[in-house]
Amino acid sequence: MVMFCRLLLVFLLVPLMVAAGARAEVIRLASSNYYPHYGEQLAQQGATIEIIRQAFALQGVQLEIEFLPFARALYESQQGNYSGLVAAWYSDKRAEHFYFSQQLYANQIVFFKRKNDKISYQNFLDLARQQRRLGVVQGYAQPAGLMESGIKTIQVATDQQALAMLALQRVDLVPADLLNALYLLENKLPQHRQQLDWLTPALEQRPMYLVLSKKDPANQQRIERFNLGLQQLRASGQYQQILDSLLPQY
């Protein structure tokens, strides 16, 4: 009878031990608000975060997201206070501190300007010679050669602040993701929507990546798992469904 009870206890405990071992790993990521791509107030926190969430879920990893201004989110992630940052553009400097995933998808970077301001240039040096003022978000990577041109820059904390300064004639140009700027003008700055437009062609198509801090050596293996999950997500068709349902087209 005693042996039977012991065997019964083992049979009861084994499923619990297996379930505990199979419990999803949880990682904490920092994120800024970069509407309409990702943000605290968006459905599913936006297409970018939902892609990351579902790709990790396929690898048994769950996300916790904390929203901060971009420069702080970047710094805190670099220091290892978070596992990583939801999305960032590539730079050699950042690659010293982060493991980069496969591409999530690309942002279309353009110059926003005031509609009544006629701006033409052959290169960024022309803009510097014209004494144009540039509004840039602190911590953002900029198109190659732009900052090196000597153009005067004014740094702000958010894209919304940069666009508001442009409308108020405190700067002359703002490099910005097209969808992000249009979202902000429609939803956060409607009073300035008719004052601003953008130059064509686009400055560049700039891919976004999940980045995980090199402060934690385990993050190298996590990036590999994420990349596998992302490939699975694309192959299943769910990746495109997320973009179609969560990323607005203007």
Residues of the chain predicted below pLDDT 70: 1-22
Please name the amino acid found at residue 4.
F
Residue 6 lies inside a defined structural domain of this protein: no
Indicate whether 86 and 175 sit together in one domain. Answer: no
Indicate whether 46 and 122 sit together in one domain. Answer: no
Residues with Cβ < 8 Å from 238, sequence gap 6 or more? 54
Kindly report the pTM of this predicted structure: 0.83
Indicate whether 175 and 223 sit together in one domain. Answer: no
Indicate whether 114 and 200 sit together in one domain. Answer: yes
Indicate whether 99 and 32 sit together in one domain. Answer: yes
What DSSP element (H or E) covers 110?
A: strand 98-114
For the segment 90-130, what is each residue's pLDDT rounded down to a tens digit?
999 999 999 999 999 999 999 999 999 999 999 999 999 99
Indicate whether 87 and 71 sit together in one domain. Answer: yes
Indicate whether 196 and 238 sit together in one domain. Answer: no
Structure tokens that stand for 15 in this block: 């499923």
- Asked if 103 contacts 207 with a C-beta cutoff of 8 angstroms, the reply is yes
Residue 8 lies inside a defined structural domain of this protein: no
Indicate whether 128 and 96 sit together in one domain. Answer: no
Mean pLDDT of the chain: 91
Q: How far apart are CA 250 and CA 238, in angstroms?
A: 22
Give pLDDT, residue 46: 98
Structural domain for 178, as ranges: 108-205
Indicate whether 199 and 214 sit together in one domain. Answer: no
Nearest in space to 227 (alpha carbons), one of 58, 101, 104: 101
Indicate whether 176 and 231 sit together in one domain. Answer: no
Indicate whether 214 and 100 sit together in one domain. Answer: yes
Give pLDDT, residue 218: 97
Longest dimension (CA), the chain: 93
Residue 15 lies inside a defined structural domain of this protein: no
Domain final residue, candidates 173, 189, 205:
205
Q: What is the CATH number of the domain that holds 212?
A: 3.40.190.10
**Total structural domains in the chain?**
2
Indicate whether 87 and 130 sit together in one domain. Answer: no
Residue 124 lies inside a defined structural domain of this protein: yes
Give pLDDT, residue 249: 81
Give pLDDT, residue 22: 53
Residue 53 lies inside a defined structural domain of this protein: yes
